[in-house]
Amino acid sequence: MKALSKPRGICIFFLFCILFCISAIHLYGLQISQHAFFNDLGNKQYYLTLTTYPPRALIFDRNGIPVALNKERLSAFIMPHKIKDKQKLIEFLKKEFPAALKRLQEKQHSYFIYVKRRLTDEEEHMIKSSNTEDIHFLYEPSRFYPIDATASITGITNTDNRGLFGIELFFDEQLAGTPTTTILEKDARSGLFYFSKQTSKEGSEGIPIELTIDSDLQFLVQEELLTTIEKYQVSQGAAIVMDPTSGEIFAMATYPTFDPNNTQTLPAAITKNVAITESYEFGSAFKAFLGLAALDEGVVTSEELVDCEGVKTAYVEGRKVNTVESSVAGLLTFSEVIEKSNNIGVAKIAKRLGTPLYDHYKKLGFGTKTGITFPGEQSGFLMHPDRWSKQSVISLSYGYEVTATLLQLATAFCPFANDGYRISPILVKGQHITPPEKIYSSESINIMRTILEETSLKGTGKYAQVQGYKTMGKTSTANLLEHGQYNPHKNLYGFVGIIERGNYKRVIACFVKESPRHNLYAATVAAPLFERIAEKTIMHDKVW
């Protein structure tokens, strides 16, 4: 018995040695060579990282009225790994949400798939009444815009509540704030109990935006613009009301417009703020700037007689110039040339002025962005004299070969109202702006103010006259360029001017374009629009 027990003991000893070695090797693998892997696995079981976003900051008008609010919207989703009645779900999705069915078929092993985000009331009712138990709901943060008229300014957010265009896009980071990251220690078995909470990264609240826009006035201006749009069936239009001293924009209405709370199928073309993002050849409004430049350079006086030749078509230094029938005249003072909007007389003065006209247009801001805090602003186009043709200075004198936004046009008109000072337009309160700079003499400005007042009293702007207020402005009728040719049947009709009474001053600019009706002019389309906007502005501001 004793002889037999010794080998058995040795076997047991070696067996335990082998088991010990195996255990040692296994422990080495767990604790040393695979330490990082198992440590990470443990952290995933015991720790949860939670990222929370602050509510998006609000956007207000100048009076503290919110124009962009937060509102939770219902979204529908499915969990492919927990589907109970697959056939019923597929039939419903195929009929009502085919895009969601396609996502389901492509990602059958996913844990979460959206059916539709930001459901409409009709879609919510349809899903709930279908009794499809595999479709679930959750609330997500989104935006609500209480004033439709400000949509082209505020812009909207996308399904992830990030800015898509407009102020929402330009100030997206400021409005969104930054998220807070929190680490939670949980019970690994049930996943329901949390033992500790630690913030690893502190977030910050979004900062609200205060616009210079007056939402009540914005609505009134939008209403008047739409009245003209409907009357003449035009394709596009815009109107701006601004303070020529501070540069603050009180209203900026545009067409096409859209419902910011119903953006399921929203064409990009109708979301543009055309007062800022589109530039055009505005035509005769530029005669006001040509007149100011000519007076400032001393190449003409307001009472100098200019031979307009009494014809509709004439040649100015070999270049053909046409003028409208209503402006045909013989000898006119320079003031009358502007009042009657005679292209022949304007062209002759422009030839005297020459290339300095470019410097004056640049000084007024044409060909350069205004720097307004809004995405997609256009700089317009102004060709340098080195690239001018023989026709260029003539074309520039009455608003061709130069494109501008309506905002640039309104801003360039402000020096007529503030003694020759150039200002920067402001859409958001508190933004840094360039201090006003005097760019024209008071003498030149005052002469042009008189000319523009006469233009509004008895010239092309007589339908823009506002009783009891000093009105100064200029019409703009321009042919639109199409396939490299000017189409006489497609026109832009605009007016830019000033209303004043004592210290009260407003610059108003407006345009509409492409009406199917013929024989229209800015004097009968845009000037009355200016007058109605001016009256609504005066009533709103209670200036009697």
User: pLDDT tens digits for 108-137?
Assistant: 777 788 898 888 888 889 998 988 888 988
Which tokens is 541 given? 């501001």
Q: What local confidence, expressed as pLDDT, does residue 286 receive?
A: 97
Question: 146: exposed, middle or buried (C-beta count within 10 Å: 0-12, 13-18, 19+)?
Answer: middle
Where does residue 149 rank: exposed (0-12), middle (13-18), buried (19+ CB within 10 A)? buried
| pLDDT tens figures, 301-360 | 999 999 999 899 999 998 999 988 888 888 999 999 999 999 999 999 999 999 999 999
Which of 31-35, 168-172, 242-246 has the weakest average pLDDT? 31-35
Q: What is the pLDDT of residue 190?
A: 47
- Cα–Cα distances in angstroms (integers) from residue 400 to residues 319, 368, 394, in the given order: 15, 17, 9
pLDDT grade for 192, boundaries at 50, 70 and 90: very low
Q: Determine whether 492 is exposed, middle or buried from the number of CB atoms within 10 Å of its CB (0-12, 13-18, 19+).
A: buried
Query: Around 388, how many Cα atoms within 13 Å sit in the side-chain half-sphere?
Result: 19
- Interatomic CA distance for residues 492 and 407, integer angstroms: 16
What is the pLDDT at residue 185? 57
pLDDT of 473:
96
If you average pLDDT over residues 416-437, what whole number do you get? 92
CATH architecture for segment(s) 215-258+274-541? 3-Layer(aba) Sandwich (3.40)
- The structural domains of the chain, with segments of one domain joined by +, span 48-65+147-211, 215-258+274-541
Q: Which of 56, 54, 57, 64 is nearest to 429 (CA)?
A: 64
Rg (CA), the chain: 35
Strand partners for 222:
none
Q: Would strands 236-242 and 504-513 be described as parallel, antiparallel, or unpaired?
A: antiparallel
Q: What is the pLDDT of residues 288-313, one digit of tens each?
A: 999 999 999 999 999 999 999 989 99
Q: What phi, psi does 256 have (nearest 5°)? A: -65, 155
378 pLDDT higher than 70: yes
| CA quadruple 15, 21, 27, 33: dihedral sign | negative
Confidence at residue 156, expressed as pLDDT on a 0 to 100 scale: 94
Q: b vs e for 513-536, b when ≥16 Cβ sit within 10 Å of the residue's Cβ?
A: bbbeeeebbbbebbbbbbbbbbbb
pLDDT-based confidence at residue 197 (cuts at 50, 70, 90): low
Judged against a pLDDT cut of 70, whether residue 31 lies above it is answered with no
**Could you read off the pLDDT of 499-541 as tens digits, one per residue?**
999 999 999 999 999 999 988 999 999 999 999 999 999 999 9
Bridge partners, 475 (sequence order): 495
Strand pairing report for 305-307 and 249-255:
unpaired
On the question of pLDDT at 107 being above 90, the answer is: no
Does a cis peptide bond (omega within 30 degrees of 0) precede residue 146? no
To 10 degrees, what angle do helices 215-232 and 522-541 make? 160
More confident position, 202 or 38: 202
Of 416, 477, 452, 463, the closest CA to residue 282 belongs to: 477
In contact, 439 and 484? CB cutoff 8 Å: no
Sole residue written with tokens 């409005």? 175
> In this model, does residue 193 exceed pLDDT 60?
no
Q: Is 196 helix (H, G, I), strand (E, B) or coil?
A: strand
Q: HEC profile for 225-260?
A: HHHHHHHHCCCEEEEEEECCCCCEEEEEEEECCCCC
**Percentage with pLDDT > 90 across the chain:** 62
pLDDT at 499: 97
pLDDT at residue 29, rounded to an integer: 60
Q: Does a cis peptide bond (omega within 30 degrees of 0) precede residue 256?
A: yes
Domain covering 48-65+147-211: architecture: Alpha-Beta Complex (3.90)
Q: What is the pLDDT of residue 530?
A: 98
Higher pLDDT, 307 or 38: 307
Task: Provide the pLDDT confidence category of residue 1 given band limits of 50, 70 and 90.
Answer: very low
